[in-house]
Amino acid sequence: MGNDFFSLWLHKTLTYSSAIFEEPKQELFAAQNNKYQKLIDLLKPSNGSKILEIGCGWGGFAEYLGTNYDVKLDCITISQKQFEFAKERIHKCGLNEKVSIKIKDYRDLKEKYDITCFWYDPNIQPKKEYNKRLKHFIKVCKIEKVSYIE
């Protein structure tokens, strides 16, 4: 399955996870942005924060965060198709100076980040694997704030 398939039903944010509907007739796009904002409110990034997003998908969160906040964001994925799409998306938005999209495995991370967020789907990744990854993130990235969202 490629990007065209997912774009048929994930709306323009291409966010493959939950959404937060604040009104009964709210559009999916707005509900996805609500979710992004709730996550950012929890993370409380300050100007210049260095943030890592693990599992950046098609770059919806990266676009939202990069557009609305003065942060430096590194995004990683292991999907070639998502990487290509997200890289182009960030380029079209003019966010290349703030947002970096890379194909990289989380186990290869060496840099330190102020905040790390990652996307977790319990239907795909068993809890045991999730806990193992979280411990690795904290150790390798010297993480001070961690958040995940389904």
Q: Give yes or no for residue 104 having a pLDDT over 60.
A: yes
Q: What is the mean pLDDT of residues 59-88?
A: 94
Burial tier of 48 (Cβ tally within 10 Å: 0-12, 13-18, 19+): exposed
Q: For residue 67, what pLDDT is reported?
A: 97
Residue 19 belongs to a domain: no
| Domain total in the chain | 1
The answer to whether 52 and 146 are in contact (CB under 8 A) is no
Residue 83 belongs to a domain: yes
Q: Give yes or no for residue 85 having a pLDDT over 70.
A: yes
Which band of pLDDT confidence, cut at 50, 70 and 90, is reported for residue 19?
A: confident
Q: Give yes or no for residue 81 having a pLDDT over 60.
A: yes
- Burial string for 97-131 (b: 16+ CB within 10 Å, else e) reads ebbbbeeeebeebeeebbbbbbbbeeeeeeeeebe
Q: Give yes or no for residue 137 having a pLDDT over 70.
A: no
Q: For residue 10, what pLDDT is reported?
A: 62
Measured CA to CA, the distance from residue 56 to residue 47 in angstroms comes to 21
Handedness of CA 38, 36, 109, 78 (dihedral sign): positive
Residue 12 belongs to a domain: no
Q: Give yes or no for residue 142 having a pLDDT over 70.
A: no
CATH number of the domain where residue 76 is located: 3.40.50.150
The tokens describing 27, both together, are 């559009």
Q: CB within 8 A of 39, min separation 6: which ones?
A: 61, 117, 147, 149
Residue 86 belongs to a domain: yes
Residue 7 belongs to a domain: no
Residue 102 belongs to a domain: yes
Measured CA to CA, the distance from residue 35 to residue 58 in angstroms comes to 16
Q: For residue 141, what pLDDT is reported?
A: 58
Q: CB within 8 A of 11, min separation 6: which ones?
A: 27, 28, 29, 32
Q: What is the mean pLDDT of residues 117-138?
A: 63
Q: Which domain holds residue 97?
A: 49-150
Q: For residue 133, what pLDDT is reported?
A: 67
The tokens describing 114, both together, are 């102020």
The tokens describing 138, both together, are 């904290």
The helix (H) or strand (E) run that includes residue 29 is: helix 28-43
Residue 15 belongs to a domain: no
Q: What is the mean pLDDT of residues 79-100?
A: 95
Q: For residue 70, what pLDDT is reported?
A: 97
Q: Give yes or no for residue 48 having a pLDDT over 70.
A: yes
